[in-house]
Amino acid sequence: MSAPELEIEGLSVSFGQGTQRIQAVQEASFVVERGASYGIIGESGSGKSTILRAVAGLNEDYSGSVRIDGQEAPRPRDKRFYKRVQMVFQDPYGSLHPRRMIRATLLEPLRIFGFDNADRRIRQVLEDVGLATHFAYRYPHQLSGGQRQRVAIARALLLEPEILLLDEPTSALDVSVQAGVLNLLDALRRDRCLTYVLVSHDLRVVAHMCSRVAVMTQGRIVEELSADALREQRSHDDYTRQLIAASRGRTPLDAVNGEGAARSDPRKDAVHAK
């Protein structure tokens, strides 16, 4: 493992103007090694997805630097960038074009990048994500949530990227379906030596999938720790401890009440109305 593959330094994102201005991400910095899986955990409005969208270039209005193999990612992102970095979205119902056949959706990146053997590649990638070939000839509304998310993963894999950005890839799925998709993602990472950045609100998912985890709240990364530390509850930050306790189902009312007032700030809702 040589130089870090993905380096984020001093990343800040804000929305709105003047007094309405909301700092969604403040000075976030982290480093992801090649072939590693890095998790970002936080609650709604913590800015975790905003980081991912800024890295992906869906929001170019950020300050700070995003480096891949030591090179600053261009703004706007170019095709070379997307050849290396792909993303899987949270909602498999929203991330596939409702009126296009799965085959057309999968054909799109191949056409844009001028890949040959399109049909063979589509067949192969569907097999890789555990779907039969005939799924290529269906429309999104004919698939279940888990199947759609597999298609979305297949689309991201078609360009053979090195880095996959995963934005809550299983939060819209049932736990039994989630297990299958998480297993798939894990196996793909090992087989293809992919680098993951996974964003989730679910401590279980992050602890299972990632080796290192950043904890975010109110736009800041408050702590970075290993998955083992997360499991063993070795944390130095109040918020992290609170999050772990809540995820484990033990939530004494008084322990959370102090934070409750700050959390009910109406501005918070504005933050996640992206």
Partner 1 sequence: MTEPMLDVRNLTVAYPSHQGYTEALRRVSFRLGRGKLGIVGESGSGKSTAGRAIMRLLPPKARITADRMQFGEIDLLTASEKRMRSIRGGQIAMILQDPRYALNPLKTVLSQIIEACRIHKVGTRAEARDRAMAMLEDVHIRDPRRVAGLYPHELSGGMGQRVMIAMMLVPSPRLVIADEPTSALDVTVRGQILDILDERVEAQGAGLIFISHDLPLVGAYCDDVLVMYGGQIMERLAARDLGAAQHPYTVALNDSLPPLDRRVAVLQVPEYDSAWLQEDQP
Partner 2 sequence: MSIAQDHDRGGWRAWLETEQADSPGQARAQAVWRAWRGLARNRAAFAGLAVLVVLITVAILAPVLAPYPPYAQDLASRLLPPSFEHPLGTDDLGRDILSRILYGSRITLMMAALVAVIAGPLGLLVGATAGYLGGWVDVVAMRVVDVFLSFPSLILALAFVAALGPGIENAVIAIALSAWPPIARLARAEALTVRHSDYIAAARLQGASRFRIVVLHVMPICLPSVVIRITLNMAGIILTAAGLGFLGLGAQPPSPEWGAMLASGRQFMLTNWWLAATPGAAIMLVSLAFNLLGDGLRDVLDPRDD
Q: Which residues bind partner 1 (CB under 8 A)?
A: 43-44, 145, 174-180, 182-183, 186, 201, 203-205, 207-209, 227-228, 231, 242-243, 246-249, 251, 253, 256-257, 259-261, 263-266, 268-269
Residue type, 20: Q
CA distances from 22 to 40, 87, 180, 256, 270 (A): 20, 25, 38, 25, 8
- Nearer of residues 107 and 221 to partner 1, judged by Cβ: 221
- Nearer of residues 114 and 249 to partner 2, judged by Cβ: 114
Q: Does 196 bind partner 2 (CB under 8 A)?
A: no
Q: Does 55 bind partner 2 (CB under 8 A)?
A: no
84 binds, among partner 2, partner 1, none (CB under 5 to 8 A by kind): none
**Residues of span 60-79 touching partner 2 by CB under 8 A:** 79
Running DSSP on this structure, what letter comes out for residue 87? Answer: E
- Nearer of residues 99 and 120 to partner 2, judged by Cβ: 99
- Nearer of residues 72 and 238 to partner 1, judged by Cβ: 238
Give the shortest CB-54-to-partner 2 separation in angstroms.
13
**Bridge-based pairing state of the strands 195-200 and 163-167:** parallel
In this chain, which of 16, 63, 71, 137 binds partner 2, going by CB under 8 A? 137
- The Cα 147–Cα 100 span in angstroms is 16
What interhelical angle do 118-128 and 145-157 show, nearest 10? Answer: 130
Phi, psi of 14 (to 5 degrees): -135, 155
Give the shortest CB-24-to-partner 2 separation in angstroms.
15
**C-alpha torsion 188→165→212→74, nearest 10:** 120
- Where does 60-144 have alpha helices with state H? 79-84, 102-112, 118-128
Phi, psi of 166 (to 5 degrees): -115, 110
43 binds, among partner 1, partner 2, none (CB under 5 to 8 A by kind): partner 1
**In the complex, which residues of this chain contact partner 2 (CB under 8 A)?**
53, 56-58, 79, 82-83, 86-87, 89-91, 94-101, 103, 108-109, 112-113, 134, 136-139, 141, 152, 155, 159, 274
